[in-house]
């Protein structure tokens, strides 16, 4: 099926030609006709599936072809896209510009950590599509810079990440400012229970589209299990990195302590490595990330929560040094590789203690993963499983969320008081907005108070 057959207008087809897409991806095939029809949509699709074009193309077409739904004397924005991170916001807005190059629709991106004034100035002029991270959007709302009363289409992109990062209160505040009559599109990597609950409250009789993780990743991401003894994992990892000549690898551990120890050991053995997790200072995290992105650091060791806040595209190698407690995190982890059509490899070092976690993962992704025994690392067939070290750093399973969100405001209290980040209460010391490069400012709003109109809000530490 071609893009034309999906009902896209000539201006969009020309733009798609220019960017070189010939065929729609599965999520695009399913989502585009639904969005064009005006229906609400709940879509499970990871980054890398082409989801951005899946909502951007029909959104552009609706705005270009339909009369303004909520006319106002002054220019008001007609479509709002919320994303968890500034990088994703930028990417989405780039897509809007790219696909909408032949249309007379205007767009802008706003996120925290940069000077607010140029954004405020741009908001004074005509604007059709606003892509924003929630905290900075609310800053502008507080300053009276933006009127959300004309929004016809709302998109929540990577909604699961937004919930995970504590944006729920911000999103609810934004929702309260939107007109009732509008189209809602919710994209999430998985249909985890907390997303379903959230979607139930937000969406009106939505169409559901699910691009199963295993088919979206299997095409580009090679997944493999290396059965290995507990104590041989580090040596196996080193061998994989060195023999495979891996230049850039993201390694996941279950605990902060484990991340530190592994990074130190690798580094000592001559493989440049650093750890990022919730106990690291903002500057240490930034340093590790930029070194990794610049290719100066071969290995970045991360915990799940720490990795969620960062956008690193197109990683060739992801290693699960330890399997995650929650199967959905496996999906998130391997989603870090094989992006943008690039190939990727996601391998898991699995010892006898983790067999149950592995079974849970395989059930979730409905896929049996290939086992490869590396000569010299054959696991002891008589090894007895030990209970997984009670990670002082274990995160709350994401399944806990529905109860919290279902209970409304009061239920947010634990988060506001300092949510568990890798099991540690998050410190709430202020950090200047400009010091938080990867994660948009103001995830959790502390006690939720905000000096009206000042745009100055208490900032959390940004520790992830």
Q: Which residues bind ligand AMP (CB under 6 A)?
A: 21, 23-25, 28, 47-53, 340-341
- Cα–Cα distance measured from residue 162 to residue 364, given in angstroms and rounded to the nearest whole number: 22
Complex with ligand AMP: residue 48 or 166, whichever CB lies closer: 48
In angstroms, give the least distance from the CB of 237 to ligand AMP. Answer: 29
Nearest residue (CB) to ligand AMP, 158 versus 444 = 158
Residue 173: closest CA among 199, 138, 197: 138
Identity of the residue, 322 or 328, whose beta carbon is nearer to ligand AMP in the bound complex: 328
In the bound state with ligand AMP, the residue whose beta carbon lies nearer, of 28 and 183, is 28
- Minimum separation from the CB atom of position 265 to ligand AMP (A): 34
Residue 344 CB, nearest approach to ligand AMP (Å): 13
Please identify, using beta-carbon distances, which residue of 21 and 191 lies nearer to ligand AMP.
21
| Shortest spacing between CB 48 and ligand AMP, in angstroms | 5
Q: Rounded CA gap, 187 and 41, in Å?
A: 8
Least Å from the CB of residue 158 to ligand AMP: 10
Residue among 53 and 326 whose Cβ is closer to ligand AMP: 53
Closer residue to ligand AMP in complex, CB, 8/301: 8
Minimum Å distance from CB 154 to ligand AMP?
Answer: 18
Least distance from ligand AMP to the Cβ atom of residue 452, Å:
37
C-beta closer to ligand AMP: residue 133 or 303: 133
Q: How far apart are CB 337 and ligand AMP at their closest, in Å?
A: 13
CA 175 – CA 80 distance, rounded (Å): 11
Q: Give the nearest distance from C-beta 50 to ligand AMP in angstroms.
A: 3
Nearer to ligand AMP, 87 or 444 (CB): 87
């Amino acid at each position: 099926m071609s893009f034309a057959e999906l009902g896209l207008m000539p201006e969009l087809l020309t733009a798609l030609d220019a960017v070189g897409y010939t065929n729609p991806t599965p999520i695009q095939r399913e989502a585009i006709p639904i969005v064009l029809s005006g229906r609400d949509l709940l879509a499970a699709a990871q980054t890398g599936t082409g989801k951005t074009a899946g909502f951007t193309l029909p959104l552009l077409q609706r705005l270009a072809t339909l009369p303004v739904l909520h006319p106002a004397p002054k220019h008001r924005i007609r479509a709002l896209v919320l994303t968890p991170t500034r990088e994703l916001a930028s990417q989405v807005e780039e897509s809007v510009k790219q696909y909408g190059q032949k249309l007379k629709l205007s767009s802008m991106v706003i996120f925290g950590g940069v000077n607010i004034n140029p954004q405020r100035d741009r908001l004074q002029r005509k604007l059709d599509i606003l892509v924003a991270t929630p905290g900075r959007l609310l800053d502008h709302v507080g300053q009276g810079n933006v009127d959300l009363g004309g929004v016809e289409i709302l998109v929540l992109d990577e909604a699961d990440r937004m919930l995970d990062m504590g944006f729920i209160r911000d999103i609810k505040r934004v929702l309260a400012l939107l007109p009732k009559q509008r189209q809602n599109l919710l994209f999430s990597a998985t249909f985890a229970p907390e997303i379903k609950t959230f979607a139930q409250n937000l969406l009106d009789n939505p169409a559901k589209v699910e691009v199963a993780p295993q088919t979206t990743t299997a095409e580009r991401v090679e997944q493999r299990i290396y059965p290995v003894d507990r104590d041989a994992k580090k040596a196996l990892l080193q061998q994989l990195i060195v023999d495979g000549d891996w230049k850039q690898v993201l390694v996941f551990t279950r605990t902060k302590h484990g991340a530190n120890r592994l990074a130190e050991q690798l580094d000592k053995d001559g493989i440049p490595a650093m750890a990022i997790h919730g106990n690291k200072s903002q500057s240490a995290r930034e340093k590790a990330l930029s070194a990794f992105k610049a290719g100066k650091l071969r290995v970045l060791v991360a915990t799940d929560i720490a990795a969620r806040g960062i956008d690193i595209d197109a990683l060739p190698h992801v290693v699960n040094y330890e399997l995650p407690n929650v199967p959905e995190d496996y999906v998130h982890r391997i989603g870090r590789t094989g992006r943008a059509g690039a190939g990727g490899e996601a391998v898991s070092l699995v010892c006898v203690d983790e067999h149950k976690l592995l079974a849970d993962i395989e059930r979730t992704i409905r896929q049996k993963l290939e086992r490869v025994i590396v000569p010299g690392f054959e696991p002891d067939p008589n090894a007895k499983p030990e209970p997984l070290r009670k990670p002082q750093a274990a995160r709350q399973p994401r399944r806990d969320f529905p109860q919290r969100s279902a209970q409304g405001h009061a239920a947010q209290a634990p988060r506001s008081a300092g949510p568990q980040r890798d099991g540690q209460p998050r410190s709430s010391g202020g950090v200047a907005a400009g010091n938080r490069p990867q994660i948009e400012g103001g995830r959790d709003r502390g006690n939720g108070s905000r000096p009206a109109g000042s745009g100055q809000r208490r900032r959390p530490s940004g520790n992830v």
